[in-house]
Structure 1
């Protein structure tokens, strides 16, 4: 491996966070806590809002099982990312470049860039909608304003990685607090919620429900987060020994599991809120975020409910921009050795997202944005297989992983997850093409 190949992604923060070699469990846990929360924000971005709102309003609590299944898949896959990053010192993008041919590696990079652009589109549109709801800013103007967040990101990167983690965790707490309040206002049916977490065959049989379910899967298990996590877990400066690596994998996995459990709560809360307020009151056609905002306060009889909803949306969108920026840098550096200034990378990504957003708003109207959000999540889901399969291949390769290779039971479980993802995506494509050929 050449010297340039040895350069890590995000070199400015690589191994910059010290961890204790001795001390209590909680002291070590605190030192390792952080990367999982950065990853978790991608699992509660505005794209989730569109799919969860549509699913809750149209189908009640029944799609909670899809959120739970998606979250369990995410916990497993992010744990594999921790293992890959710690055991090999390479992130997923670098591992792809190391082990695949140049054409294959280039193709995976293109697909990943498409996924990041789709994710960025969801964050941009979601933030713009929140600005419109809170401050009556035209949606097209709000889309352009959100591109300016690059400067805040650059400021935080210069301060240090722990500052980014602290900000992310604070914003997650704000979003979570907003939805605790909303659920208190909505008073959902506990029995119905518990029943919704039980898988139902009707979801697969109904093309519309399946489309939203695949969108939830794409919104929950984020392909670019697999690249991100395998890199930022290396911000911790553990000693390069088998014992310290085992410890880093253990605490990194605990960190991401706790963080994704919070994401499960927020995703479930969005769907539960939509089901409790809209589905069971006859407003099953509510799918637009703007409609949900307008109806929440009058239907709940609580004046601040709509404003709390919009504040949570804005916080969610702005939080997600942090991870999209870093993921884009990791993917470009890992696959191509191309090191672009973070501000330039962010502006390029934003430009790719701004153009379809503005065109959709101009030609189809502001009411089309939620459909655009749901479509962006389906695109993410269709790209998932091309990130999941290499991750499972690498972590199951003894030559690459050594003693940290996946045991047989984990290989079987991971392959089952990959099969479910590929199968659901294949079914979605079949249903989509059938709908185009038979529009009636």
Structure 2
């Protein structure tokens, strides 16, 4: 699917101009081989033509990143918030999306401007006694992420086909072969698959929202800030859960690596345009992610909250209540289809993140199929053990634990990202503007504080 017309500029050999930009002086080690080397600069970009033609060539990585903002681990929080407090927490989801846009724009800037993903930047900037622990923590976080996606996919299989969760968890290992099959046709096919799944998810929720017939005036009011969130301790806690669990560490590694799948010229003008187009791509995709997250919350508010069911938080519980509340057998089926598509998408992006992290931190290359299979096995084994030993109800505790692990790792990804993109010695002329760095610092501090509170509450309880 990669364009190969004369208007596009891949050289076909993997050694492209964007890989040989003059090195800035702020890095302690020279730039090594890029992560995802078989996909590096493999997608052609338009040299001329309209703005829209150029943007289309850059669209794709942002949608893979957006998957992480609507993964199964986030569904429970939105369901709980909507069922308990109606539309009031929509404003928190909107704020979360704005924070995500800021951080992902820095990822695009790092990947294009410095020619490094976040893992490579840590390796080339920090001494080994710092970079190796960062690598270990990133691997733990990706395992936790993958664990949540595997369980979410298994729940989707259970709801649709009544497959036991323990067997469903094992079946999800097959998605590694899906990635390899799609990759054989080019990276654009992976992007097309993810976008298609996002389209299915969007259609499923559009139909469910139409069936639920929400109060659109209340929806609009829910987007506005309210003092009730600060005054109601339980509402504040759920709001912190939505806000603090929004940014996933693996997305920062993923985006800074995926933007390098585009062929980018060596000139400063080409790279500035690439940064702008990649940022627009991720911003549009994250707005779609917000729409889907908001739809989950709106659906919960228009069904469970309106019917007085204010205690809905589990995915299977939400699925079971939809049919009697909406009077349609189609609604729970659509809910399960959306969950399954979401889980499939999330496992694909988490697996790609795992490869970027290992190759970036260690500069160590193993066969792509082996790396992806190892990533999947590491996530599947604890899920299988727990579901077999403690029963299907234990999957909820696994999901909660995975989010706590991600919260602990998040500062170790956000802080280096803000540091690198604010450093002129590392970024050269592509350093982030001061206003953007200041906004990113505030965003990072807020996310870290909220995650710290969530972790504290988890261990305290």
Between 66-75 and 255-264, report the one with greater CA deviation: 66-75
Residues 306-345 of structure 1, C-alpha deviation per residue, up to 9 Å, x if partnerless? Answer: 1011011111110112111111000000111122322222
Alignment of 1:84-233 (within 5 A): 84-203=110-229, 208-233=234-259
Does residue 291 of structure 1 match 2:339?
Answer: no
Match of 1:438 in 2: none
C-alpha distance in 1 between matches for 2:212 and 2:405: 32
| Structure 1 unaligned residues grouped into runs of 5+ | 436-440
SS at match of 2:76: helix
Match of 2:61 in 1: 35
Distance 1:247 1:18, change over 3 A: same
Does residue 57 of structure 1 match 2:83?
Answer: yes
Distance 1:152 1:429, change over 3 A: closer
Distance 1:214 1:342, change over 3 A: farther
Distance 1:385 1:3, change over 3 A: closer
Match of 1:413 in 2: 439
TM-score calculated relative to the size of structure 1? 0.94
Shift of 1:39: 0.9
Shift of 1:188: 1.2
Give 2:49's match in structure 1, choosing from 23, 28, 40: 23
SS at match of 1:281: coil
C-alpha distance in 2 between matches for 1:63 and 1:118: 26
Match of 1:239 in 2: 265
Does residue 360 of structure 1 match 2:386?
Answer: yes
Shift of 1:6: 2.0
Match of 2:343 in 1: 317
Does residue 328 of structure 1 match 2:350?
Answer: no
Shift of 1:202: 4.9
Shift of 1:14: 0.5
Residues 131-180 of structure 1, C-alpha deviation per residue, up to 9 Å, x if partnerless? Answer: 11111111111011111111111111121011111111111111011101
- Judge conservation of contact 2:109–2:432 (CA < 8 Å) in 1: no
Match of 2:96 in 1: 70
Distance 1:199 1:340, change over 3 A: farther
C-alpha distance in 1 between matches for 2:352 and 2:148: 16
SS at match of 1:188: coil
C-alpha distance in 2 between matches for 1:199 and 1:378: 27
Distance 1:156 1:150, change over 3 A: same
- Judge conservation of contact 2:407–2:455 (CA < 8 Å) in 1: no
Aligned-CA RMSD value: 2.0
Give 1:264's match in structure 2, choosing from 264, 287, 290: 290
C-alpha distance in 1 between matches for 2:125 and 2:447: 23
C-alpha distance in 1 between matches for 2:267 and 2:353: 28
- Judge conservation of contact 2:104–2:282 (CA < 8 Å) in 1: yes
Alignment of 1:383-422 (within 5 A): 383-422=409-448
C-alpha distance in 2 between matches for 1:100 and 1:122: 30
C-alpha distance in 2 between matches for 1:305 and 1:144: 27
SS at match of 2:184: helix
C-alpha distance in 2 between matches for 1:129 and 1:198: 34
Shift of 1:433: 4.1
Between 420-429 and 273-282, report the one with greater CA deviation: 420-429
C-alpha distance in 2 between matches for 1:202 and 1:353: 39
- Judge conservation of contact 2:244–2:447 (CA < 8 Å) in 1: no
Distance 1:207 1:154, change over 3 A: farther
SS at match of 1:43: coil
C-alpha distance in 1 between matches for 2:275 and 2:298: 34
C-alpha distance in 1 between matches for 2:388 and 2:87: 34
SS at match of 2:39: coil
Between 302-311 and 188-197, report the one with greater CA deviation: 188-197
SS at match of 1:112: helix
Match of 2:303 in 1: 277
C-alpha distance in 1 between matches for 2:403 and 2:28: 38
- Judge conservation of contact 1:9–1:334 (CA < 8 Å) in 2: yes
